[in-house]
Amino acid sequence: MSTSSLFQVKDCAITIIATGIKARMLSELRDKLAIIHPGCIYFHFWGGRLSTQFEYRDYHNDFAHWAHKYLHDDYLGERLELINPADFDHLENLRAHLLEIVDDRLDELEYIPGTGHEYQFHFIRSEIVVTNTKLQMAQPQELVQIIPKLSTSSLFYHFIDARRRNESGEDDFTVWLKSYNGKYAALLDKIKAVDPYLISLANVHAKLNIITSEYFLKDVK
């Protein structure tokens, strides 16, 4: 992401990989969730961020969407919808929470809900192909010029996928700004308040643009 104080802007593309693993019954979904590659869990929460349909979906993750639309279990769908993956510092912790919710629902039900063969849940994972761009920053003030130029996929890489890559669980901008030993604490607080899960990437982009512009240009007449 960066060398010393230099921030190298990167871009990415998501390659979707079909696992061939499916679930028709809620009990099957639970069993598959327990053993599935963690990349599948990541994809079914975050993969849609690069899809234009994200802004029009009633449910933010694929598990909640499937429970609502195909199991016709709105109670379970709402429980799953309340999960914000940004609250979990590790995918295994997110997996454990998913299993807890599904197990609780299975205990409550008198019968195990399922759906037709054509509406099975298909587990998908993805790989991210990263490319370099010509954009880079030597000083945080350059965020004002760089943020508006970021592509949607570049923003996804640095603001969302970075949370999976960085040991601290933070986005790349935050990690970079923290290297300035507290100088940008107020700016970091504002960036931290932007939730990348509940709003579209277009709105994340707009918020970051406003935050950085107001911070660095507040004294410009």
Sequence ranges of the domains in the chain: 2-11+134-217, 13-125
**Angle at the Cα of 204 from the Cα atoms of 202 and 210, rounded to 5 degrees:** 105
Report residue 87 as tokens: 């609250």
Encode 77-136 in three state secondary structure: HHHHHCCCHHHCCCHHHHHHHHHHHHHHHHHHCCCCCECCHHHCEEEEEEEEEEEEEEEE
Mind listing the pLDDT tens digit for each residue in 73-112? Answer: 999 999 999 999 988 888 999 999 999 999 999 999 999 9
How many CA within 13 A on the CB side of residue 170?
14
Closest by Cα among 83, 30, 28 to 61:
83
Whether 67 contacts 147, CB under 8 Å: no
Identify which of 18, 21, 38, 17 has the alpha carbon closest to the alpha carbon of residue 29: 21
115-169 confidence digits (pLDDT tens): 999 999 999 998 889 999 999 999 999 999 999 999 999 999 999 999 988 888 8
